[in-house]
Amino acid sequence: MRDPLHLRPVQFVDTPVGRDGEVARLAGGMLWFAAYEVIEGGRRRTVPITALADLLQDDRAARLHARITAPRAALTLGERILRFDQPSVAAILNVTPDSFSDGGTHGGDPAEAASAGVAMAAAGAAIIDLGGESTRPGAAQVWEGDEIARVVPVVERLARSGTPVSIDTRKAAVMDAALAAGAHIVNDVSALLWDDRALDVVVRARCPVVLMHSPDPKEGGHARTGYRDVLTDVFDWLDARIAAVVAAGIERSRIIVDPGIGFGKTLAENLALINGLAIFHGLGCPIMLGASRKRMIGALDNESPVDARLGGSLALALKGAEAGVQLLRVHDVAATVQALRIWRGLRDRALVGG
């Protein structure tokens, strides 16, 4: 059986003005592209939008094209609306003693942690992504009762302030408790595979969910594996996982995907994923990119420590924006929001032809 065909939007243009029939709009957002890279059987070729007719005779190509170009439905999160027609920031708020970047910063004081989350929202974050267990390599597993005790008081305070919250957890009991306390989204690094009860929790709650790729979700997410082509392998894994979650009763419009930068991937594989991010629009879901302060930045910059990776984090965030990523999961909210505002200004000017 031949490898399935994949489409990656390429040849992005400044403006669609005067280019009817030559370009397509990416996921209802602020980017237009003039061609696809067609990946099939280990080979790559470029097909211009002007020559799509033959390609779209293939049912899979037609389905991918429809998903790539369809606008992403907004999500209602309490009193807030999260739109996906331009990139937004999901702010990382850890209430753990051992997270790789900010472990211990906000642990032990729910009021202080919630205040930090509100400040992140005031700085421009669309969502606060709250975690009570580190998922760094080698981190100790946290008992679900302890994790609940860490996150629920913070969720309650953030919910009272009207701040949208996603709960970053693999555990069904933590999901249940956080959603009951006012969280709006489940963000699971195991794509609802670590805990056999997790899928049922999300289906019952009818909440949006982030499905992240890792090669071994049952074991922690950091095992090394042999990818034939990391870009298409991760795409296919997420595609299959989306299909399973949709079959269980969650609407595709309520699923967000994350390629899992740093989880069971080498530096070269992480770079290939980031360079090829636009392929994931073919899943028909908003994309979250979590590359902030990660090890790959240190690997490319003389082993810079975690607290000296702002420049690299901003570079990766802007690379994501240029590929149409809708959610950027970051530690440095104000700096990233400022970078995205400049990016948006440049896009606005380009779209009117200047």
Q: Which residue has the tokens 């440049």?
A: 346
- Whether 208 and 177 have beta carbons less than 8 Å apart is answered as no
Active-site choice (329, 341, 347, 349):
329
Q: Strand pairing partners for 288?
A: 327
C-alpha distances in Å from residue 223, one per residue of 76, 138, 218 = 36, 11, 11
Percent of all residues in the chain with a pLDDT value above 70, rounded to a whole number: 95
Which of the four pLDDT bands, split at 50, 70 and 90, describes residue 105?
Answer: low
Q: What is the pLDDT of residue 142?
A: 86
Span 106-134, average pLDDT: 92
Across residues 186-190, what is the average pLDDT? 97
Tokens representing 171 are 């555990």
For the stretch 286-314, pLDDT in tens is 999 999 999 999 999 999 999 999 999 99
Q: What is residue 99's predicted lDDT score, i.e. its pLDDT?
A: 53
Q: Is 125 exposed, middle or buried (0-12, 13-18, 19+ CB in 10 A)?
A: buried
Could you tell me the fold of the domain covering 75-351?
TIM Barrel (3.20.20)
Catalytic position from the list 294, 309, 319, 347:
294
Q: And the tokens for 209?
A: 């969910």
pLDDT of residue 259: 98
Amino acid 223: pLDDT: 76
pLDDT tens column, 133-157: 987 776 778 888 999 999 999 999 9
Place of tokens 């996603």: 166
pLDDT at 96 (0 to 100): 87
Instruction: List helix spans (H) across 16-57.
Output: 52-55
pLDDT recorded at residue 2: 66
Collapsing DSSP to helix, strand or coil, 182 comes out as: coil
Question: Please, where in the chain does CATH 3.20.20.20 lie?
Answer: 75-351
Please indicate whether residue 218 is annotated as part of the active site.
Answer: no
Give residue 104's pLDDT: 54
Average pLDDT, the chain: 94
pLDDT at 28: 98
- Pick the closest to residue 30 from 345, 243, 253 (CA basis): 345
User: What is the per-residue pLDDT for 147?
Assistant: 94
pLDDT of res. 300:
96
Report the half-sphere exposure of 254 (CA within 13 A, side-chain side).
18
* Neighbour tally for 78: CB within 10 Å: 13
Q: Is 319 a catalytic residue?
A: no
- 217 pLDDT above the threshold of 60: yes
Summarize pLDDT for 222-277 with one digit per residue, the tens.
777 789 999 999 999 999 999 999 999 999 999 999 999 999 999 999 999 999 99
- Condensed to tens digits (0 to 9), the pLDDT of residues 40-98 reads 998 999 999 999 999 999 999 999 999 999 999 999 999 999 999 999 999 999 998 75
